[in-house]
Chain A
Amino acid sequence: AQSVTQLDSQVPVFEEAPVELRCNYSSSVSVYLFWYVQYPNQGLQLLLKYLSGSTLVESINGFEAEFNKSQTSFHLRKPSVHISDTAEYFCAVSGNFGNEKLTFGTGTRLTIIP
């Protein structure tokens, strides 16, 4: 079984400042890792994922996350945030063989301050 810890429930950041949302996981097997974003009054949307290969993965809107196996982390970063990035961000993990279910963290609410 896997578990995910998102230590920060809320992160306020000034517009155009950098941000890091932390995610740590635990698992006895190799994993896939995901970040989902939930905008107000909407469902979850896949932001980016790590499956294999390069440990640094990027999204189309400027976010990136780095898989660090030794620290069991998958932190999400963006060098310069915008008002439109205001949302809740969920880290998720699954085992990397078939029919594994996603386990989600409790989410981090990112608030951008103008």
Chain B
Amino acid sequence: ETGVTQTPRHLVMGMTNKKSLKCEQHLGHNAMYWYKQSAKKPLELMFVYNFKEQTENNSVPSRFSPECPNSSHLFLHLHTLQPEDSALYLCASSQEGPGIPFNYGYTFGSGTRLTVV
């Protein structure tokens, strides 16, 4: 257990379904991230939240909708996905802020393996 928990571990959904991915961190970090990992491609940063506020959205399609109700929880709401959205979705957290050097990297969860059929 890394301190970042993602549920579910596996998800199969149809293109018309609505589902949500959940991420929870118990490390006291103030920043959380969603990454998409597809075969043969670099990890793609999707969203960044600092102190519950979204600070980055890397041109992610609107069928992906993030939610961060507090610094410990992060959701990714999914609707009308496409087969090419099938991937491993990774959540990560870190401690960042003014005067805090970014020198410890990220802590990742184990990911949710999403298959869109």
CB atoms of A45 and B102 under 8 A apart? no
The total of chain A residues at the interface (CB under 8 A) is 28
> Is residue A25 contacting chain B, with contact meaning CB distance below 8 A?
no
Residues of A near B61 (CB, < 8 A) are: none
Contact with B along A33-77 (1 / 0, CB 8 A): 010100001111110010100000000000000000000000000
Residues of A near B107 (CB, < 8 A) are: 46
CB atoms of A44 and B90 under 8 A apart? yes
> Is residue A89 contacting chain B, with contact meaning CB distance below 8 A?
no
A105 to B41, CA, bound (A): 8
Residues of A near B110 (CB, < 8 A) are: 41-43
> Is residue A86 contacting chain B, with contact meaning CB distance below 8 A?
no
CB atoms of B102 and A106 under 8 A apart? no
> Is residue B103 contacting chain A, with contact meaning CB distance below 8 A?
yes
Known: A43-B110, A44-B90, A45-B108. A98 touches B101 (CB 8 A): yes
Residues of A near B106 (CB, < 8 A) are: 44, 46, 102
Residues of B near A96 (CB, < 8 A) are: 101-103
Top-6 shortest CB links A-B? A43-B108, A104-B43, A44-B108, A43-B110, A46-B105, A51-B103
Interface set of A (CB-CB < 8 Å, partner B): 4, 9, 32, 34, 36, 41-46, 49, 51, 90, 92, 94, 96-107
